[in-house]
């Protein structure tokens, strides 16, 4: 549609477009996922968000099981790469009213949905949504957006290779603040987490390098789940081993399991690894 900047819209045109946008808003929906432990609500304005919401319990059954088994009332849970907040929301009942949720999500559309989902579930008072990237250094870098839709993944900080190391052309680009978790904790901006989840589309090793001091501190996290890409699996195990953490369990996503069923090489499929201090 082309409009003239000097022409005031007439009453009929204005009403039609108000109706059009009201209809678009009405077509968005709120999905409620009910479980034996409670219910969780998610605002969905795209099919991507809808699909994430309705598969909350199936997409990563191992992650759901880990959160249920690990989080305690009063814990601080750090969700790095929170997307639209599925696991941040799920953690709310588990950490309770005395707990805290730190949700890091640099993608602007995802971060907006994340904030709305936390509010929908009454978690705003115990959650901090941080629309910044985490990495191995502090600064401002190009955040290259592979898809603008909320719920999307694979956008990248300071590079244009997706999580599978494939080049892409950004549809949008933002100059984004990035920090190490060590810096944020040392400055008192966020507390030391008790439990950490890291899923950042191939940049996990950089994020882990930026929390070296946190992982080595006296009040170290008691459990850390990291999505492990095939190209750095051994390096990640070595890094965590050097800080006194051992892999306790490993599990695959629903997508990974389906790839295995089709005969894919297990070594080439990403998985989640759960690490804990060796003495734990």
Show the tokens assigned to 233: 């699996």
Whether the CB-CB separation of 79 and 103 falls below 8 Å is answered with yes
What's the pLDDT at 279? 75
- Which residues on adjacent β-strands are paired with residue 174? 143
In this model, does residue 166 exceed pLDDT 90? yes
Band (13; pLDDT cuts 50, 70, 90): low
pLDDT band at 3 (very low <50, low <70, confident <90, very high): very low
The conformation of residue 125, written as its DSSP 8-state character, comes to G
- Whether residue 244 is predicted with pLDDT greater than 70 in this model: the reply is yes
Residue % of the chain over a pLDDT of 70: 92
Flag the least confident range among 26-30, 172-176, 182-186. 26-30
pLDDT-above-90 percentage for the chain: 83
Q: Which helix (H) or strand (E) segment is 102 a member of? A: strand 100-104
CA–CA distance, 42 with 49 (Å, rounded to integer)? 8
pTM of the full structure: 0.91
Q: Give residue 126's Cα distance to chain centre.
A: 17
Q: Domain 60-277 class?
A: alpha beta
Structural contact between residues 146 and 152, judged by C-beta atoms closer than 8 angstroms: yes
* 105 pLDDT tier (thresholds 50, 70, 90): very high
């Amino acid at each position: 549609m082309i409009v003239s900047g000097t022409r005031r819209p007439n009453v009929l045109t204005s009403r039609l477009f108000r109706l059009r946008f009201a209809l678009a808003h009405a077509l968005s929906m709120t999905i409620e996922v009910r479980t034996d432990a409670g219910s969780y609500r998610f605002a969905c304005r795209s099919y991507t968000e809808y699909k994430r919401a309705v598969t909350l319990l199936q997409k990563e059954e191992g992650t759901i099981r880990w959160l249920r088994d690990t989080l305690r009332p009063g814990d601080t849970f750090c969700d790095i790469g929170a997307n639209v907040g599925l696991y941040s929301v799920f953690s709310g009942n588990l950490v309770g009213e005395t707990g805290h949720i730190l949700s890091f999500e640099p993608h602007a559309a995802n971060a907006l949905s994340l904030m709305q989902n936390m509010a929908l579930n009454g978690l705003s008072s115990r959650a901090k949504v941080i629309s910044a990237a985490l990495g191995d250094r502090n600064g401002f870098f190009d955040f290259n957006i592979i898809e603008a839709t909320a719920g999307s993944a694979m956008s990248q900080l300071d590079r244009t290779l997706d999580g599978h190391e494939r080049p892409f052309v950004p549809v949008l680009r933002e100059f984004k603040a990035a920090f190490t978790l060590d810096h944020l904790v040392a400055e008192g901006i966020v507390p030391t987490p008790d439990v950490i989840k890291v899923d950042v589309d191939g940049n996990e090793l950089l994020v882990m390098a930026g929390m070296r001091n946190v992982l080595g501190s006296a009040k170290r996290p008691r459990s850390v789940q990291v999505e492990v890409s095939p190209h750095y699996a051994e390096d990640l195990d070595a890094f965590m081993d050097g800080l006194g953490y051992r892999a306790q369990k490993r599990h695959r996503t629903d997508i990974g399991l389906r790839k295995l069923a089709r005969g894919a090489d297990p070594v080439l499929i990403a998985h989640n690894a759960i690490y804990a201090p060796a003495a734990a």
